[in-house]
Amino acid sequence: MDSQGFNDDTYQAVLRYHLAWRQRDLDAILACYHPDIAYHDHLQNRVFTLAELRDYVQAALPAGSNEHLAHSDRIRVDGDTAFIQYRLALQGGRALFCSSEAITVRQGQLSCIHEYATLQRQDSQQGGADNRSALARLGLSARQLGRLAADLDSYFRQQRPFLDPDCNLQAVAAATGYSRNQLSYLLNQVLCRRFYQYVNEARVRYLLAELAGQPSRQRIDELAFAAGFNSLSAFYRAFRDHTGMTPSAYLRQLACVPAATTAPASAG
């Protein structure tokens, strides 16, 4: 077959790889790799061999539905090389990675991959070399950042560490198995949050759920302390930032909801 132009064998091999990622099938992904594969992750400035790719792919596979991967173009083929572009939206929606891969196929398997990813934030256009060097130091790929975001969100929802007034970054890092620097990068550069801002938002969400489920309306300052706040000033500030109103205004609005939504009694 001619070495230039469309090559169906190349296309089918890359399509299988693409579908294995969509199905989150680790064994199917690994089966696509040639025994002599060289996987170049240019965001981390690292090259992985087949022996290293199981752990790399396992860490990159999303654990839940918070990571959204969308291909922004069809698979393009030129001889034994295919090109894919995709966008990876991380949990929270404030940031995304725009990535492209150049994939070389040999004997029906992927023998060389060059992955290029650039972090973009919705509130800025920062990215490029600074992010590449930072993620190289942290040992994270674009997909692994998505996994980290999902793991952090799951830990906060299931274990509720924010209920402890002394919740801190070191304790969260130890509990989730990530480093302080990895969590700090995710929060600051991807989710655009400081650690205690992230914690206090979780506390407010917890408190709002408690308010919605309490017809007796426990005192809101008692709920604030039960949610992990150790000062009312921090609570009021976090509450206004999250809801756009003061606690008293929110309670007045909440008190009006049943009357406004209850259907009138039948006159019959």
Q: Which of 175, 160, 153, 155 is nearest to 226 (CA)?
A: 160
Among 7-11, 67-71, 231-235, whose mean pLDDT is lowest? 67-71
| pLDDT tens, position by position, 48-70 | 999 999 998 988 876 666 555 66
Residue partners of 177: CB distance under 8 A and separation at least 6: none
Domains of the chain and any CATH numbers: 8-144 (3.10.450.50), 198-257 (1.10.10.60)
Q: State the pLDDT at residue 173.
A: 95
Max avg pLDDT among 95-104, 130-139, 224-233, 258-267: 224-233
- Write out pLDDT tens, residues 140-190: 777 777 778 888 998 999 999 999 999 999 999 999 999 999 999 889 887
pLDDT score for 2 = 43
